Chains A and B, each alone.
Chain A
Amino acid sequence: MGLEAKLDSDGFLVTQLDTVVAWARKNSVYPMPMGISCCAIEMMAAADPKYDIARFGSEVMRFTPRQCDLMIVAGTVTYKMSHVVRKIYEQMPDPKWVIAMGACTSTGGMYRSYSVVQGIDQFLPVDVYLAGCPPRPDNLLNALIQIQNKIGRTRAKDFQNLKLPELNVIQNN
């Protein structure tokens, strides 16, 4: 950070462990790209050189849910797909966050039809809803910053006393 060059002996910093953990966590969010349809292409565009999601420490898109802490649901979720999305969400280790990217994940959007789930919050807890059909990559970066702010505010006690079933899921997977 440039600071350590000014030190002539070992430096130290007084802070809370909680703060350091939250700071580290928020700057290395690993997204799970749940790319389903059109939004997935814009999510890819967010990773390309022009928008460069790496500036926010999230370029490591992991396609296995075991290594992720942020699920970006990008695209229309149908009833047939909803079971898959839920299963993948359950396979992610705690703590985890969800971005509902685009109008159709948030509310069903332009798809008023028999096979589309009218908003993924019917079966998933969502942290950030993202407007647009599809949202521009800048907008996805904005949502990522919002999630980072949210993660930065977490403290260890938020994750204690979790309900038993959720822990079971973690251990079984």
Chain B
Amino acid sequence: MELKDLISQKLESNFPEAELEYSEYRGELNIKFNKKFVNSICKFLKQDSELEFLLCEDVTAVDWAKRKNRFTVVYHIFSLKHNFRLVLKADVDESDCSIDTVSSVWKTSDWQERETYDMYGIKFNNHPDLRRIYMPEEFEYYPLRKDFPLMGIPGSLPLPKK
């Protein structure tokens, strides 16, 4: 069986309620699901002996500005066994701007999630150390949101006295 079918079949049988949606673009398989299942799906994909997605390459988010579910959190995971990259997605709405952390599954997503929090303001539940990573702790805005201007908000970052 082809790997893409195997993944979808396994996910369908284990997570029937996760509202799985599949799409493919330029050979990359994208799977979208309900954000409640993020932790269990990731854990399953890592631990399943036929799949073994041991490497979490990237965690980030996309701000769609005017869409109903404003943000999409995107995970890129890689299976060394099959040399295959899988894209996982979960929608997050602005009114409930939070999603479960996967830092218990892959340690690397600790900082990746901190970065996403710093840039988009998406809170990761149960994260061990959720604080800003690039911007100073006192900074109030989330720079990669589409409503944040490129040149920033004047006076939001202080300069030392001359």
A residues sitting closer than 8 Å to B (CB atoms) are 79-80, 82-83, 86-87, 112-115, 117, 122-125
Contact call B143/A124, Cβ cutoff below 8 A: no
Is residue B149 contacting chain A, with contact meaning CB distance below 8 A?
Answer: yes
**Complex interface residues of chain B between 131 and 162 (CB less than 8 A to chain A):** 134-136, 143, 148-153, 157-162
Which 9 residue pairs across A and B have the least CB separation, nearest first? Answer: A114-B152, A79-B157, A86-B160, A123-B160, A123-B159, A83-B160, A123-B162, A80-B136, A82-B159
Kindly identify which residue among A82, A114, A115 contacts B160, using a CB–CB cutoff of 8 Å: A82
CB distance from B90 to the nearest CB of A (A): 28
**Complex contact B159–A115 (CB within 8 A):** no
Q: Report the bound CA distance from A123 to B135 in whole Å.
A: 20
Contact partner, A79, options B148, B158, B161, Cβ 8 Å: B158
Q: Which residues of B contact A79 (CB under 8 A)?
A: 136, 157-159
Give chain B residues whose Cβ lies under 8 Å from the Cβ of A87: 160
| Residues of B close to A124: CB separation below 8 A | 162
CA distance A86 to B162 in the complex (A): 8
Neighbour of A123 across the interface among B149, B152, B157, B161, CB < 8 A: B161
Inter-chain CA distance A123–B137, complex, in Å, is 21
Residues of B within 8 A of A80 (CB): 135-136, 157
Most buried by B among A79, A83, A86, A117: A79
Would you call A114 and B151 a contact (CB within 8 A)?
yes
Q: Given that A80-B135, A80-B136 are known contacts, is A114 also in contact with B148, CB under 8 Å in the complex? A: yes
Residues of chain B within 8 A (CB-CB) of A117 are: 159
Q: A80-B135, A80-B136 are in contact. Are A114 and B158 (CB under 8 A)?
A: no
When C-beta atoms are compared, the residue in chain B nearest to A125 turns out to be: B162
Residue of A nearest to B159 (CB): A123
- Report the nearest A residue to B151, measured CB to CB: A114
What residues on A are CB-neighbors of B135 within 8 Å?
80, 115
Looking at A79, A114, A115, A125, the one whose CB has the most chain B CB atoms below 10 A away is A114
Instruction: Give, as a whole number of angstroms, the nearest-CB distance from A98 to chain B.
Output: 12
A148 CB to closest chain B CB (Å) equals: 26
Q: Given contacts A114-B152, A125-B162, could you give 4 more A-B pairs where the C-beta distance is less than 8 Å? A: A80-B136, A82-B159, A115-B152, A123-B160
A122 touches B159 (CB 8 A): yes
Compute how far the CA of A112 lies from the CA of B150 in the bound complex, rounded to whole angstroms: 8
Q: Which of B88-145 contact A (CB under 8 A)?
A: 134-136, 143
The chain B residue sitting closest to A85, CB to CB, is B160
**Nearest residue in B to A118 (C-beta to C-beta)?**
B151
B121 smallest CB distance to A (angstroms): 15
- Rounded to whole Å, the gap between the CB of B151 and the closest CB of chain A is 6
Query: Which of B151, B158, B160 is within 8 Å of A112, CB to CB?
Result: B151
